[in-house]
Chain A
């Protein structure tokens, strides 16, 4: 090769290369155009109703008005500071933590119990599964209306049956010490059947041969549960826990119908607090700030759980 050649070559080569990139790009674009067009309707709606709304919340969280007639002005992080300083918000966060833990653990425990008991398919079990799944089919608002009657003090269904056993009849939803637990009962009743489905599916994945081998080796029911079934169900546990916690933050229909966060904020949960700020206080800035905080917490939680799940798939 002569020395002159390389000088000429790049020029000759670069033009087709650039051309090549352009054509390749346009070619790729052309081939994927139908795909983008097909996605366009969903993208438009996602942008309008999901990302647009999130963007709007972000903007709204930065603005506030000083007095009722004053125009809104940029206040930076003041709204977030105001939310964090509000004892009603911190109270709602504490309530929500109690509510999340207090509903997730019992409903998952019950769900596992139901799934283990009903894992074999026969007519009786199918009927029982359907019965346990029934609460899932009842809309939360309807269920809350039903429980309003069950919890009626003195004359409700609950007091009718267990009233004679108690020394004093409690005001289930009107006593600030009891109300949150009464609300939790509904959530557990409603969600346990739903989580049972996941565990039933998870149980199908437990290898039959391993179970048989354990049986032949003389492993008792407890040992099989502890050493074979539980490890196999770990991904299911993780998934259901995430769902249960998300439910604890996003489902407040029963609070809305039954207590409106009362008495004295005893059943106020974060999402209901946001509703109160937006609607009752008519304070969009504070409501948006509280929404952002909740969104951040939920996204953090989801990211964490997905990472753990991904790690698990690589691991043993």
Chain B
């Protein structure tokens, strides 16, 4: 009896302690909001984010924002979805720009139009701050669902020392696929059958591989997907066939590109160590290359076969659905602050991504930075020919159907034509339920 009474007492104490902890949360005070943020590139970013949020909180006493690190882009999507399901969505999330459409289809995003209107501005004016190339991934059905935060495009990185060694002029980088093939041949070194230095390396791992396929397809005149409608991809097309065939030729025919599928970090390590003389990689790796390359390097536009065109990458700020009004407003204040010219520029210099807000490039800090690092300017200039990142219903599985087939081709197990036909078939299958509800739902 004594025992159970003591237990009851313990339980009662635990209960009162729990309620004591819960009370302060209900009390009046600054609006507390969470910001989920991923770190897609190495190390230092988490600390930079802490600095940024601390500065925000000091300037906004009625809001208390907390930055919550949520892993990679994919992990951030998982955690955001889990939080929405649990009924406790974060107030704002830095979300991979090509997940927005899928989330909107699943009713997981807040339409930002009313928040923009409440500020007394128009959608056009609001979006007008950002580079036009970024708007495609932020606007769905003519409504704004995301605010571009940090973005990238693919670049051609050239080891200038090796180019000079091979008798090539790094100040005139290759502009077409023909020139690039020629450069890659000249930059490949062999000992018998063994290659000691590769001419070029292009990454292919899940996520990166789809982005590189979109890059090559676009420079071959094509489109990866239907930009206006999330139910179609264009895998089995001449432009993508040309892109994949050329990539495969670099591997199998010219033997200037390492065989198999190589992830992004392996490609950048290979370039830094001098094992690959050129690589195609995101502008997001620019800071890493700048800090680690022990040789002169040069960055250039992605060469064209038909036209100059590249996809954007990176992330946007979103407000998940199901948020209370006061937190929504606080999140909106935070988002506007983070994407303002000064903060946008600061983040760009810290990370290597370019700043989506065009006015950031007019700030004095940024002008000075670009004068010191002209390579960062190339990324911004390429934005003129940039287009949206592929985004469909179930973006990741639809992308994976292509990537699995591309990997088979790069491993010499399939021919490009049959691989793309198989990828198209599998992607159509994944997109079927969405089409059944939209394009094939007839009166």
Residues on A lying within 8 angstroms of B by beta carbon are: 33-34, 37, 66-70, 148, 152-155, 167-169, 171, 173-177, 260-265, 276, 279-282
Contacts and interface: CB of A to CB of B under 8 A. Distances in A.
B411 A263 contact: yes
Contacts of B400: 280
Nearest to A69: B437
Contacts of A152: 266, 269-270
Nearest to B266: A152
B74 A176 contact: no
Given A66-B433, A264-B411, A153 B405 contact: no
Q: Please name the 10 residue pairs, one residue from A and one from B, whose CB atoms are nearest each other, closest first.
A: A171-B260, A174-B260, A263-B407, A67-B437, A263-B261, A174-B261, A280-B396, A264-B407, A264-B404, A175-B260
B277 to A, nearest CB: 12
B423 to A, nearest CB: 11
Contacts of A177: 411
Main secondary structure of the interface of B (DSSP, over half): helix
B262 A174 contact: yes
B275 interface: yes
Contacts of A175: 259-260, 411
Main secondary structure of the interface of A (DSSP, over half): loop
A276 B397 CA distance: 9
Interface residues of B, number: 48
Nearest to B274: A155
A116 to B, nearest CB: 39
Contacts of B141: none
Given A264-B404, A281-B394, A281-B397, A176 B413 contact: yes
13 contacts: A37-B7, A68-B106, A69-B105, A169-B194, A174-B263, A177-B411, A262-B407, A263-B204, A264-B411, A264-B413, A265-B404, A279-B74, A282-B106
Contacts of A264: 404-405, 407-408, 411, 413
A262 B404 contact: yes
A26 B129 CA distance: 76
B78 interface: yes
Given A153-B260, A167-B194, 10 more contacts: A153-B266, A154-B270, A168-B193, A174-B261, A175-B259, A262-B205, A263-B261, A263-B407, A265-B404, A280-B400
A138 B253 CA distance: 43
B436 interface: yes
Contacts of B266: 148, 152-153, 174
B260 A155 contact: no
A231 to B, nearest CB: 47
A154 B258 contact: yes
A86 to B, nearest CB: 11
Nearest to B409: A264
B211 interface: no
B273 interface: yes
Contacts of A282: 81, 102, 106, 394
B342 interface: no
Interface string B205-232: 1100000000000000000000000000
